[in-house]
Amino acid sequence: MKLRRSMLFLPGSNAAMLSTAFVYKPDSIMFDLEDAVSLREKDSARLLVFHALRMPAYRDSGIETVVRINPLSTPFGMKDLEAVVRAGVEVVRLPKTDTADDVHALEAEVERIERECGREVGSTRLMAAIESASGVVNAVAIATASKRLIGIALAGFDYVMDMQTERGDGTELFYARCAVLHAARFAKIDAFDVVFSDVNDDDGFLKEVDLIRRLGFNGKSLINPRQIDLLHNAFAPTQEEVDYSRRVVAAAEQGEKQGLGVVSLNGKMIDAPVIEHARVVLRRAEASGVRQ
Ligand SMILES: CC(=O)SCCNC(=O)CCNC(=O)[C@H](O)C(C)(C)COP(=O)(O)OP(=O)(O)OC[C@H]1O[C@@H](n2cnc3c(N)ncnc32)[C@H](O)[C@@H]1OP(=O)(O)O
Ligand SMILES: O=C([O-])CC(=O)C(=O)O
Ligand SMILES: [Mg+2]
C-alpha cells in the first residue's frame, strides 16, 4: 500500500530547508518552484532543486520527490521541467490545471525530455493541481488525461480567489472537494486536499483533517513539518477499529469454510464490502501503525 498522506511543500529557494527536509519523513516532499519563489529567485531555486534531487539523502530516503513547476505558459515552466526530469524527479506537480489539454501538453514535453536524456519513457509521474472553477468542472477529464497521473490535488487559495470568495469553515470548498474526489476515484488515482495555512492552529488543522479523511481523501498538501505527525496519527486506524476488523475477517473466514457468503457478527451483517473494508483497515494499520 503506497501511502501519500503527507505531501510537504517547501520553497525551492530555501537552501536550509532543502538540505534538511527529509529528516521530517513526510510521505512525499514537494519542492516548490512556483508561488513560494519570488520572480528574482526563479533561476537559483531551479538550480538548488536540481541538486537536491540528486542528493543521496533524497534519492535513497524512500520519500517520494515531487516538484511543483511553474505553468508551461510562463517563461519558467519549460526550464523547470527540463531541469527536474533530467534530475530524476519522481513526480511533477502541475499547478493551475484548468483543462485536460494542460496535462496533454505537459505529458508530451515530459516524454520528449525523457527520450533526450535517456530516462525510461513513462518513468516520470505527474500530478495535477486544480485551482479554479474551470479545473473543478473539468476534473474528470483532467484526472483521466494521462496514465502517468498519480493523483489530483485541490489547491484552496487560488480556487477561492477564482470563486470570488475566501477560505472559511470549509463550506466554500465542499463542492470542489467532492468533485475532485469523485474524479480521482473514477480515474483510480489519489486525491489530495488543500493546505491549511495557520501552522499554530492544531485544533483547526485536526478538524479539517478529520473531515477530509472521512470524505475519502488519500492525504493533504502540508506547509510545515509540525503538521506531519498530526496528520499521520489522525489517518491511522484506532485500536478499536483494528480489533473489530480482525473479528470481521475471522468471522468471514469461518463463514467461507461453511460455504456462507454472508455471516453475522454480534447481530451485524458481514458481507463482501464490509469484509473488504476490514481488510483495508488492517492493511492501513500495518502500513501506518495504530492511532495514539
Ligand atoms: C498557497 C501555496 O502555494 S502553499 C505552497 C507553497 N508554500 C510553501 O512552500 C511554504 C512552506 N512553509 C514555510 O515556508 C514555513 O513553514 C512557514 C513560512 C509557513 C512558517 O515558517 P516558520 O514559522 O519559520 O516555521 P517553524 O518555526 O515551524 O520552523 C521550524 C523549523 O522547521 C523548518 N521548516 C518550516 N517549514 C518547513 C517546510 N515546509 N519544509 C521543511 N522545513 C521546514 C524551519 O526551517 C525550521 O527549521 P530550524 O528549526 O532548523 O530552523
Ligand atoms: O497547490 C496547493 O496545494 C496550494 C496552492 O497553490 C493554492 O492553494 O492555491
Ligand atoms: Mg495556488
> From the CB of 10, is ligand 1 less than 6 Å away?
yes
Residue nearest to atom 1 of ligand 2 (CA): 155
State percent of the chain over pLDDT 90: 92
pLDDT for 261 = 80
> 229: Cβ below 6 Å to ligand 1?
no
Output the pTM of the full model.
0.95
Cα–Cα distances (Å) from 70 to 12, 110, 202, 278, in that order, read 12, 14, 30, 41
For residue 13, how many other CB atoms are within 10 A of its CB? 22
C-alpha–C-alpha distance, residues 51 and 90, integer Å: 14
**Which residues, in sequence order, are bridge partners of residue 228?**
none
Q: How large is the average pLDDT for residues 215-228?
A: 97
Q: Ligand 1 centroid vs 21 CA: distance in angstroms?
A: 10
Over its C-alpha atoms, the chain yields an Rg (Å, rounded) of: 20
Residue given cell 534531487 in the structure block: 53
pLDDT of residue 60: 85
Distance 7 CA to ligand 2 centre (A): 12
Query: Do β-strands 64-68 and 149-154 pair in parallel, antiparallel, or remain unpaired?
Result: unpaired
* Cα–ligand 3 centroid distance for 112 (angstroms): 27
Residue environment code for 63-82, b if the CB has 16+ CB neighbours within 10 A, otherwise e: bbbbbbbbbeebebbebbbb
pLDDT at 207: 97
Query: Which cell numbers in the block locate residue 183?
Result: 474524479
Cβ of 154 closer than 6 Å to ligand 2, yes or no, is no
Q: Is the CB of 130 under 6 A from ligand 2?
A: no
Closest CA to 67 of 13, 25, 117: 13
Residues 6 or more apart in contact with residue 8 via CB below 8 angstroms: 21, 24, 26, 28, 29, 30, 222, 223, 225, 228
H helix or E strand, kind and range, residue 150: strand 149-154
pLDDT over 80 (residue 135): yes
Asked if residue 36 has its Cβ within 6 Å of ligand 1, the reply is: yes
Distance between Cα 29 and ligand 2 center (Å): 15
Q: Is the CB of 34 under 6 A from ligand 2?
A: no
Q: Which of 81-85, 118-122, 260-264, 288-292 has the lowest average pLDDT?
A: 260-264
> Is the ipTM reported for this complex over the cut 0.95?
yes
pLDDT tens-digit profile of 41-100?
A: 999 999 999 999 999 989 888 999 999 999 999 999 999 999 999 999 999 999 999 999
Ligand closest to Cα of 9 equals 1
The atom of ligand 2 lying closest to the CA of 131 is 9
pLDDT value at residue 59: 86
Ligand closest to CA 45: 1
CA of 176 to the centre of ligand 3 (A): 15
Which residues are within 8 A (CB) of 98 and not within 5 positions of it... i.e. 6 or more apart? Answer: 132, 134, 135, 138
Residue 106 cell numbers, joined: 505537459
Residue 1 pLDDT greater than 90, yes or no? no
The helix (H) or strand (E) run that includes residue 113 is: helix 100-117
Q: Which of 29-33, 139-143, 213-217, 284-288 has the lowest mean pLDDT?
A: 284-288
Given this model, what pLDDT does residue 2 score?
84
- Average pLDDT (229-242) is 96
Atom 3, ligand 1: which residue's CA is nearest?
Answer: 35
Q: What's the CA-to-centroid distance between 120 and ligand 2, angstroms?
A: 30
Residue that has been written with the C-alpha cell 511543483 in this structure: 68
Question: Which pLDDT belongs to residue 287?
Answer: 86
Q: Which of 177, 193, 195, 224 to mutate to test the pocket of ligand 2 (most atoms within 8 A of CB)?
A: 195
Alpha-carbon torsion (108, 110, 116, 119), positive or negative:
negative
Q: What is the mean pLDDT of the chain?
A: 96
Cα(252) to centroid(ligand 2), Å: 43
